[in-house]
């Protein structure tokens, strides 16, 4: 009888799919994320997210137990929805399925339809927006859960000819993907500088990086207004970030096919070339030239590339994390003279290699090694023969960094062993400047630490 080799995952380079959906739902005004599954899923995700953002994060749960795995979790989900409506006053509830409920076969959309009918028959309070998305962890990563949730929101809430007061005038839809709150604030600033209005979905710039308050808010202020989501079909264009999303069934694709909104898909604007592409798109849709302040930021960035070139040229880097972030970071590293020798991700889009080849064209003599579906054991095994000078990625690479003696420049999510992960700026010329400075200083610090002299001037 033939046997199959089993390869275990050791320290995964990804997170679970419903976690990504919860992050997307948190970026909508008045929304509460809800997991249809066991209580443990919500507890783990809350703790994980709070440790990065340093903000409260409520995730509701239908709290299924052993008996529900046999008889189904419909009654628990309905009771949970009712509790969120009456006790939280949720303006929207985003329901994400989990491994358990997908395995037992719960039909979440059907349960929600039944719930609507039952609540209407009871004559209870008006129902908030209810959005469901299928996100079993065994079918993908947290980024796939994130994008699936954004697509579900547009698919289930966006309606024709719906424009609220906040959408008066020409506006663009921004679908930035999972970037930091600092990135989102900067992107909104850039779009406004071109004289355009915007609808950003999702928008965690306040909901996961808010001010100190005297009174606790059950649902934090901020996020994309639901009325704005409903009117996205009236946008002048949609700008959607992520090379791996191109040609796929995305939220931007729905807006194009259903409402005729022109779709512009590009990479995450990290570094000079990818940010140039973003600015060119804004020039096209706004009819305006790039504002002077951004030209100056670009010029200062180029100047710093010249100043820091002697420190970074030829350095070897391992880049890991979410696929589109890795693609953007690889493009950035290649243009500043760093040689990416390994680009790894837990995702399995099948597009990462071709995307990296495209964004590094003309910059690298050879395409870096690309590993999809990688875990940190695989990354560590490959690093033994690559001799990297630095690692670029999130906190889960810290132990590997320590073992290799190579500095780790922390970007992306999660950042659990440093402060301010939610304020790391990656996007735009300004973000590239901050990343460039961090890389140069990481190399300089390493040089100082290893020197018997201890340079005080470099």
pLDDT in tens, 391-425: 999 999 999 999 999 999 999 999 999 999 999 99
Q: Which residues contact 313 (CB under 8 A, 6 or more apart)?
A: 337, 338
CATH annotation of 165-208+221-286? 3.40.50.1980
Domains 17-157 and 292-450 are alike in CATH topology: yes
Q: How far apart are CA 196 and CA 156, in angstroms?
A: 26
Is-contact 330 356, C-beta < 8 A? yes
Share of the chain above pLDDT 70, in %: 96
Q: Whole-prediction pTM value?
A: 0.94
**Buried/exposed 403-440: b ≥16 CB within 10 Å, e otherwise:** ebebbbbbbbbbbeeeeebbebbbbbbbbbbbbbebbb
Q: How far apart are CA 416 and CA 404, in angstroms?
A: 20
Q: How far apart are CA 110 and CA 117, in angstroms?
A: 11
Token pair listed for 91: 């303006």
Domain ranges for the chain: 17-157, 165-208+221-286, 292-450
Going by CATH, does the domain composed of 17-157 fall within 3.90.420.10? Answer: no
3-state secondary structure of 298: helix
Give residue 279's pLDDT: 98
Start-to-end CA distance of the chain, whole Å, equals: 65
Q: How does strand 60-61 pair with strand 197-200?
A: unpaired
The DSSP 8-state label assigned to residue 85 in this structure reads: I
Location of structure tokens 């069934």:
249
Token pair listed for 176: 């930035």
The partner residues of 371 in beta bridges, in order of sequence, read 344
Q: How does strand 390-393 pair with strand 316-320?
A: parallel
φ and ψ of 201, to 5 deg:
-135, 120
The DSSP 8-state label assigned to residue 138 in this structure reads: G
Token pair listed for 350: 């099948």
Centre a 10 Å sphere on the Cβ of residue 192 and count the other Cβ atoms it contains. 12
Give CA separation, 184 vs 57, 189, 314, 361, in Å: 19, 9, 32, 28
pLDDT by residue, tens only, the chain of 458 residues: 455 555 678 888 999 999 999 999 999 999 999 999 998 999 999 999 999 999 999 999 999 988 877 778 999 999 999 999 998 889 999 999 999 999 999 999 999 999 999 998 887 667 999 999 999 999 999 999 999 999 999 999 998 865 544 455 689 999 999 999 999 999 999 999 999 999 999 999 999 999 999 888 889 999 999 999 999 999 999 999 999 999 999 999 999 999 999 999 999 999 999 999 999 999 999 999 999 999 999 999 999 999 999 999 999 999 999 999 999 999 999 999 999 999 999 999 999 999 999 999 999 999 999 999 999 999 999 999 899 999 999 999 999 999 999 999 999 999 999 999 999 999 999 999 999 999 999 999 999 999 888 777 87
CATH class of 292-450: alpha beta
């Amino acid at each position: 009888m033939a046997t199959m080799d089993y390869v275990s995952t050791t320290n995964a380079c990804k997170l679970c799919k419903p976690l990504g959906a919860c992050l997307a739902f948190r970026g909508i005004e008045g929304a509460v994320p809800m997991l249809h599954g066991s209580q443990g899923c919500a507890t783990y995700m809350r703790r994980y997210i709070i440790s990065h953002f340093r903000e409260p994060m409520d995730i509701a749960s239908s709290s299924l137990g052993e008996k529900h795995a046999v008889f189904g979790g419909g009654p628990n989900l309905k009771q949970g929805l009712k509790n969120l409506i009456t006790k939280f006053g949720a303006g929207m509830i985003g329901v994400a399925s989990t491994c358990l409920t997908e395995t037992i076969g719960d039909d979440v959309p059907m349960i929600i339809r039944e719930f609507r009918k039952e609540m209407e028959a009871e004559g209870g309070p008006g129902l908030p927006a209810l959005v469901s998305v299928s996100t079993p962890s065994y079918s993908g990563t947290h980024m796939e859960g994130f994008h699936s949730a954004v697509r579900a929101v547009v698919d289930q809430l966006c309606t024709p000819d719906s424009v609220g007061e906040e959408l008066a005038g020409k506006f663009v839809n921004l679908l930035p993907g999972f970037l930091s709150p600092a990135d989102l604030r900067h992107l909104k600033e850039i779009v406004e500088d071109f004289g355009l209005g915007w609808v950003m979905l999702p928008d965690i710039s306040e909901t996961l990086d808010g001010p100190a308050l005297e009174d606790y808010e059950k649902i934090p202020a901020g996020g994309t207004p639901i009325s704005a989501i409903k009117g996205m079909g009236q946008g002048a264009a949609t700008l959607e970030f992520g090379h791996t999303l191109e040609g796929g069934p995305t939220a931007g694709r729905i807006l194009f096919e259903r409402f005729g909104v022109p779709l512009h898909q590009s990479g995450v604007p990290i570094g000079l070339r990818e940010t140039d592409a973003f600015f060119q798109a804004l020039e096209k849709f706004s009819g305006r030239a790039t504002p002077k302040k951004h030209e100056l930021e670009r010029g200062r960035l180029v100047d710093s590339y010249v100043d820091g070139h002697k420190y970074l040229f030829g350095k070897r880097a391992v880049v890991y994390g979410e696929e589109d972030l890795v693609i953007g970071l690889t493009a950035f590293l290649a243009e500043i003279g760093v040689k990416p020798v390994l680009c790894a991700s837990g995702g399995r889009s099948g597009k990462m290699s071709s995307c990296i080849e495209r964004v590094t064209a003309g910059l690298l003599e050879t395409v870096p090694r690309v590993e999809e579906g990688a875990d940190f054991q695989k990354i560590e095994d490959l690093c033994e023969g690559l001799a990297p000078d630095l690692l670029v990625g999130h906190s889960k690479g810290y132990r590997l960094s320590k073992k290799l003696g190579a500095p780790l420049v922390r970007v992306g999510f999660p950042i659990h062993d440093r402060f301010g992960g939610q304020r790391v700026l990656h996007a735009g010329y300004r973000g590239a400047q901050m990343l460039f400075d961090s890389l140069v200083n990481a190399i300089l610090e390493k040089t100082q630490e290893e020197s018997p002299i201890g340079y005080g001037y470099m």
